[in-house]
Amino acid sequence: MNSNYYMKIEYTLQENDFLEYQLYTTSKSEAIRKKRLISKFAVPMLYVLLGVFFYFYDNNKNAILICLFLGALWLFIYPFYSKYRYKRFYLNHIKKKYTDRLDHVDALKLGNNNYFYIKEQGKEGKVKTSDVANLIELKEHFFLKTKKGGAIILPKNYILNTDEFKQIIADLGINYVDDTAWKWS
């Protein structure tokens, strides 16, 4: 490893760090947004169709009112249900796939202009700075998002000087994305 580096960040990833990354990535996926939108409106549409069927089949006006109520109730409840369901799904996924990456002291060295040096679980590697697409800043995390779709997750509380960190990244020509107002919904 190159001993000339600008900054070394030692950090420990927890379950919530991986969860925030997964939820953030999910919220930015156009395919998942469409899927959630369809799920939100498909159930109420089925209730409406069911109510119309009962209305025309046996002139049951109460059935259409009940179905309209249930459809409206679903529209109200769905955002909470969806938020909970995705969170639970990703927590289970993290417990299965990332348990070995939790609670280890890892390190990121911002080296010369060509590489980021990474140490995870005693293994060392490097990522070309040209392979990093964005530095994404959330309220409690930075994500160094690679062009191939992966990311280096950095909890902010381990970075002593976030302004210096962002400046080093900017000097490397990496795009900065301020998403500090992002919230999982």
Name the residue range of residue 46's domain: 21-99
SS3 state at 56? helix
Residues 171 and 124 grouped into a single domain: yes
pLDDT single digits (tens) 72-118: 999 999 999 999 999 999 999 999 998 888 888 899 988 677 888 99
CATH of the domain at 108: 2.30.29.30
| Sequence-separated (6 or more) residues with CB below 8 Å from residue 1 | 109, 111, 117, 124, 126
* Domain-located, residue 159: yes
pTM: 0.84
Which one of 99, 121, 155 terminates a domain?
99
CB-based burial, 114-126: b 16+ in 10 Å, e otherwise: ebbbbbbeeeeee
Rg (CA), the chain: 23
Residues 90 and 107 grouped into a single domain: no
Which one of 99, 130, 149 terminates a domain?
99
pLDDT single digits (tens) 7-30: 899 999 999 999 999 999 999 999
Reading the block at residue 84, the tokens are 């909970």
Residues 126 and 138 grouped into a single domain: yes
